[in-house]
């Protein structure tokens, strides 16, 4: 089990304070080590000078040695020659340095019985030994003061860092709170609203922009869903209404057997229409849920396109259209022939439907040389205005044809075609020139 997490603001403030305290501690420790080092170095230099001076005086002017404290200010030293005390200053004796003197040749700190600190060094030769000392008290006091200042400073810095960090984090995170408040107001019915973007370049601006883009896409898909539901219920309701009214009218009066037969036949025709819409919707729903899997194999597209065109040729002939399949070299693609057949059938049916009588439809397969294979369906229909080009593949979308209500079909053919091609890892491209015709190109991976 995890602890309940702190708020981002508190965590930011704590991190900030932690890092700052760490820096202050390291900095304080650095200062302490440096100051302490330089203080002791000064003492040791002073001590070395004292020893040199005493040594020089002892060798050259031994009788002057008792004047040294007054003349040169060297007040703490002792000289022992041949095992006997040659000279020791008054201060040396008073300080009690005579007892328990450390015998080291390097400078050493020593605490006298009365609690004072001295820095002591002894120079020993076979003939004599000179010891000198310097009082350390003032320097130690200075060091203690420094420690006290630093020790008081670190907690103070910590408190300031937490408070400052909390305040700064709050200010920095304020836009997040504002965004959250705004986002809470945006519900399914108010998807048109957007988050405020103060500066699109900074982090929060980018976040808000990304969020707004997501909202736009969500808004679009909601809109599509709404339109789809409206269209689907319209397409389903139309045959249902026909079935209802035909049946009700027939029941209003007595009819002979032949007339009843007509009525039932007419109702069954509508049922068939209904079934077709439901089946098409089912294909698309299954495509949406990813349940339809393509079993790919290598298909030769020229003959494949030829066989599909042969299936639909009678429709073109009925409209005195020419439906030609351009003979070409072998073109191969890896796809599921059953699914692709569904797609190409719907594309061709669409071309035949929208090309006026006497027009021409040309089908050709070719490889584009860069690992893709094409099947093109070119017609001499009315073409598709740029505004409709993207949307013709949407479900139930019928462009201008849908408005004047004389187009056959439910407007699902191209949606199914697009799915069928996409399920095979391909795409459909559309080139169109108004009043010149359209070219639908199925692009499939060759392997």
Partner 1 sequence: MRILVVEDERKVARALQEGLEGEGYAVAVAADGEEGFRLARREAVDLVLLDLALPKRDGIDLLAALRRQDKLLPVLILTARDAVEDRVLGLDSGADDYLVKPFTFPELLARIRALLRRGHPDPVLELKHEDLHLDLATRKVARGDHSMELTGKEFEILECLLRHRGRTVSRDMLASHVWHVTARATPLDNVIDVTMVRLRRKIDDPFEKKLLHTVRGLGFVLGERRP
Q: Which residues bind partner 1 (CB under 8 A)?
A: 261-262, 264-269, 271-272, 275-276, 279-280, 282-283, 286, 291, 311-312, 314-315, 317-318, 338, 341-342, 345-346, 349, 409, 412-413, 416
CA-to-CA distance for 417 and 430, rounded, in angstroms?
Answer: 12
- Structure token pair of residue 350: 């669409």
Least Å distance between CB 292 and partner 1?
A: 8
Distances (CA, A) of 346 to 272, 318, 371, 376, 438: 18, 18, 25, 13, 15
CB of 81 within 8 A of CB of 97?
Answer: no
Which residues does 168 contact at the CB level (< 8 Å), separation at least 6?
A: 13, 16
Least Å distance between CB 429 and partner 1?
A: 22
Compare residues 152 and 264 and give the one whose CB is closer to partner 1. Answer: 264
CB of 8 within 8 A of CB of 175?
Answer: no
Buried b (16+ CB within 10 A) or exposed e, 269-281: ebeebbeebeebb
Compare residues 237 and 436 and give the one whose CB is closer to partner 1. Answer: 237
- Structure token pair of residue 437: 């015709």
Least Å distance between CB 302 and partner 1?
A: 19
Least Å distance between CB 378 and partner 1?
A: 19
Least Å distance between CB 430 and partner 1?
A: 19
Compare residues 143 and 292 and give the one whose CB is closer to partner 1. Answer: 292
Compare residues 101 and 267 and give the one whose CB is closer to partner 1. Answer: 267
Between helix 137-185 and helix 8-60 the angle, nearest 10°, is: 170
Least Å distance between CB 249 and partner 1?
A: 16
CA-to-CA distance for 208 and 261, rounded, in angstroms?
Answer: 65
Between helix 203-252 and helix 257-288 the angle, nearest 10°, is: 170
Least Å distance between CB 301 and partner 1?
A: 19
Compare residues 142 and 282 and give the one whose CB is closer to partner 1. Answer: 282
Compare residues 176 and 312 and give the one whose CB is closer to partner 1. Answer: 312
Compare residues 132 and 412 and give the one whose CB is closer to partner 1. Answer: 412
DSSP string, 198-239: S-TTSHHHHHHHHHHHHHHHHHHHHHHHHHHHHHHHHHHHHH
Compare residues 280 and 302 and give the one whose CB is closer to partner 1. Answer: 280
Compare residues 64 and 310 and give the one whose CB is closer to partner 1. Answer: 310
Compare residues 68 and 283 and give the one whose CB is closer to partner 1. Answer: 283
Least Å distance between CB 255 and partner 1?
A: 15
Least Å distance between CB 172 and partner 1?
A: 53
Kindly report the number of other CB atoms within 10 A of residue 428's CB atom.
21
Would residue 396 be called left, alpha or beta, if left means φ above 0 and alpha means ψ between -120 and 50 degrees?
left
Cβ-based burial of 135 (10 A; exposed 0-12, middle 13-18, buried ≥19): middle
CA-to-CA distance for 126 and 124, rounded, in angstroms?
Answer: 7
CA-to-CA distance for 312 and 323, rounded, in angstroms?
Answer: 9
Looking from the CA of 348 toward its CB, the CA atoms found within 13 Å total 27
Least Å distance between CB 268 and partner 1?
A: 3
């Amino acid at each position: 089990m995890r602890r309940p997490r702190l708020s981002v603001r508190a965590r930011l403030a704590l991190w900030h304070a932690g890092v700052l305290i760490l820096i202050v501690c390291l900095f304080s420790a650095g200062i302490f080590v440096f100051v302490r080092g330089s203080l002791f170095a000064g003492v040791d230099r002073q001590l070395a000078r004292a020893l040199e001076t005493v040594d020089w005086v002892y060798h050259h002017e031994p009788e002057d040695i008792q004047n040294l404290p007054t003349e040169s200010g060297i007040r703490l030293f002792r000289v022992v020659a041949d095992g006997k005390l040659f000279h020791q200053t008054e201060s040396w004796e008073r300080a009690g340095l005579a007892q328990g003197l450390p015998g080291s040749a390097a400078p050493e700190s020593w605490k006298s019985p009365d609690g004072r600190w001295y820095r002591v060094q002894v120079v020993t030769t076979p003939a004599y030994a000179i010891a000198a000392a310097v009082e350390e008290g003032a320097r130690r006091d200075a060091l203690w003061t420094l420690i006290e200042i630093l020790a008081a400073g670190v907690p103070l810095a910590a408190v300031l860092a937490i408070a400052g960090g909390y305040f700064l984090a709050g200010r920095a995170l304020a836009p997040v709170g504002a965004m959250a408040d705004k986002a809470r107001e945006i519900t399914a019915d108010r998807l048109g609203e957007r988050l405020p973007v103060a500066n699109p370049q900074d982090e929060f601006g980018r976040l808000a922009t990304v969020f707004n883009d997501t909202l736009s896409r969500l808004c679009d898909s909601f809109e599509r869903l709404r339109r789809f539901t409206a269209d689907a219920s319209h397409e389903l309701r139309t045959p249902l209404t026909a079935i209802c009214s035909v049946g009700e009218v027939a029941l209003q009066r007595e009819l002979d057997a032949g007339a009843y037969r007509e009525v039932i036949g007419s109702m069954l025709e509508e049922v068939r229409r209904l079934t077709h819409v439901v089946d098409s919707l089912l294909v698309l729903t299954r495509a949406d849920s990813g349940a339809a899997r393509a079993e790919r194999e290598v298909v030769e597209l020229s003959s494949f396109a030829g066989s599909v065109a042969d299936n639909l040729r009678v429709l073109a002939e009925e409209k005195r259209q020419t439906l030609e399949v351009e003979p070409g070299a072998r073109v191969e693609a890896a796809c599921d022939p059953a699914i692709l057949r569904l797609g190409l059938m719907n594309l061709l049916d669409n071309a035949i439907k929208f090309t006026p009588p006497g027009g021409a439809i040309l089908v050709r397969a070719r490889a584009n040389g860069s690992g893709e294979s094409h099947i093109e369906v070119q017609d001499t229909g009315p073409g598709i205005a740029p505004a409709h080009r993207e949307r013709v593949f949407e479900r139930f979308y019928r462009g201008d044809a849908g408005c004047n209500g004389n187009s056959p079909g439910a407007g699902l053919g191209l949606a199914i075609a697009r799915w069928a091609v996409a399920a095979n890892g391909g795409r459909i491209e559309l080139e169109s020139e108004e009043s010149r015709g359209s070219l639908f190109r199925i692009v499939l991976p060759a392997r």
